[in-house]
Amino acid sequence: EVVLVEQFRAGAISVAKTPDEAWLLEVVAGIIEEGEQPIAVVHRETREEAGCEISDLIPLYHFFGSPGGAAETTQLFCGRVDSSQIGGIYGMAEEHEDIQVHVVSFAESQHLLAEGKIRAAPAVIALQWLALNRESLRKQWLG
Tell me the catalytic residues: 95
Burial category of 18 from C-beta neighbours within 10 Å (exposed 0-12, middle 13-18, buried 19 and up):
exposed
Residue 1 near residue 83 (C-beta atoms within 8 A) = yes
Torsion, Cα 92 95 99 103, to 10 degrees, reads: -60
